[in-house]
Amino acid sequence: MQAAPRARVARRPVHGVLLLDKPIGLSSNQALQKAKWLLRAEKAGHTGTLDPLATGVLPLCFGAATKFSQMHLDADKAYETVLRLGVKTTTADAEGDVISERPVQFTAEMLDEVVRRFTGPIRQIPPMHSALKKDGKALYEYARAGIEVERAPRDVTIRALKVLENRMDNAQPAIKMVVECTKGTYIRTLGEDIGEALGCGAHLSALRRIRTGGFDTTQCVTLEALEAMSEAERMACLLPVDALLAGHSVVTLDSENAGRFLSGMRRRGPWPDASEVAVYAAGTNSLLGTAHVKAGELIPVRLLSPLEISETLAQQQVIEQLAESEI
């Protein structure tokens, strides 16, 4: 018996960032679509894919926030992972078929040495079961057809690698670790490479993203919690668009210069050179966009439209009114 089709909802402009604790079993896009439906949002995107096996921090960008999603695609990330030792799979995680089993025989000293070896700059070959494209086709499509293609190695940096638990004495030996890394790091590949270095092979049996950029799991909301909320409560979970710009230097413009900046015109002022700054309007303190500063010239990069700015202000007023009506 098929499930009843989901009721159509009236879409509306929604602007901001929702920090979702993605559940296991859903793709990042499936999680995004559920949250988008709950918020009745017109436009949304996420800032970096998590495998269905993985849980944890998935920043979802709505409306104007999608213009700045690249900020968190480029951010450092941290993961908590469990490596099942002695077993290799076709996908390097628990969803794949077992392709080899070996005894687990290494010392604590050997583990320490391997951890040191994989800390710092390393080179990875992307896994076949990934969304990375080759000749316009995702690698996982080749893998499903039983075809292995050559992949160019990638340079990434493991900023920290810490063993939380060493369960070598278990019937199913495993290691629980925390990995802090740069963008583009494949944790499945890292786990598989660590297993090879230990001489036993390994695959990921669990993966949780605990931080991306300045966002962590303590700030996240689950889909289950969102479903139980009122509309006002859901909207109140949204962080402002400029949450994606935390840490940026700020330039504030008066109304005349703000209008010209929004038209794409460069402005001059006593600002130090900067690769990217957040630009605001004086008075309303509304985010206008981002810019480069070079030789005292403010050069627009990404701009909100006047409509997006007014909708963002109106959205905040609606949230406050809904909150008052439910007290």
3-class secondary-structure state, position 172: coil
Are residues 234 and 259 located together in one domain of the fold? no
In a domain, 6, yes or no: no
In a domain, 2, yes or no: no
Q: What's the pLDDT score for residue 3?
A: 53
Is 112 known to be catalytic? no
**Domain, as residue range, for 274:** 247-325
Are residues 87 and 65 located together in one domain of the fold? no
CATH of the domain at 282: 2.30.130.10
DSSP notation for 114-170: HHHHTSEEEEEPPPSSSS-EETTEEHHHHHHTT-------EEEEEEEEEEEEEETTS
Whether the pLDDT of residue 14 is over 90: the answer is: yes
Are residues 298 and 171 located together in one domain of the fold? no
Are residues 197 and 320 located together in one domain of the fold? no
What are the structure tokens assigned to 194, written together?
A: 């660590």
Q: Which of 51, 93, 193, 242 is catalytic?
A: 51
This prediction has a pTM of 0.90
Number of domains in the chain: 3
| Average pLDDT, rounded, for the chain | 92
What are the structure tokens assigned to 180, written together?
A: 């802090």
Are residues 291 and 230 located together in one domain of the fold? no
- Domain termination residue (choose one: 212, 229, 263): 212
How many angstroms from the chain centroid is the CA of residue 235? Answer: 20
Are residues 171 and 235 located together in one domain of the fold? no
What confidence tens digit (pLDDT) does each residue in 62-88 have?
999 999 998 888 899 999 999 999 999
Residue 182 one-letter amino acid: T
Give, for 62, the enclosing helix (H) or strand (E).
Answer: strand 55-62
Q: What's the pLDDT score for residue 71?
A: 81
The residue behind tokens 């668009």 is 241
Provide the percentage of residues in the chain whose pLDDT is more than 70.
Answer: 96
Are residues 202 and 223 located together in one domain of the fold? no
DSSP helix, strand, coil percent of the chain (3-state; round to 5):
30, 35, 35
In a domain, 1, yes or no: no
Q: Look at 19 and 323; give whichever has higher pLDDT.
A: 19
DSSP notation for 273-317: PEEEEEEEETTT--EEEEEEEETTEEEEEEE--HHHHHHHHHHHH
What confidence tens digit (pLDDT) does each residue in 221-267 have?
999 999 999 988 999 999 999 999 998 999 999 999 999 999 999 99
What confidence tens digit (pLDDT) does each residue in 28-63 have?
999 999 999 999 999 999 887 898 999 999 999 999
In a domain, 136, yes or no: yes
Are residues 222 and 175 located together in one domain of the fold? no
CATH of the domain at 104: 3.30.2350.10
What confidence tens digit (pLDDT) does each residue in 257-312 have?
999 999 999 999 999 999 999 999 998 899 999 999 999 999 999 999 999 999 99
Question: What does the CA dihedral 251, 252, 258, 260 come to, rounded to 10 degrees?
Answer: -40
Are residues 310 and 208 located together in one domain of the fold? no
Q: What's the pLDDT score for residue 323?
A: 65
Are residues 293 and 193 located together in one domain of the fold? no
Are residues 202 and 134 located together in one domain of the fold? yes
Q: What's the pLDDT score for residue 327?
A: 58
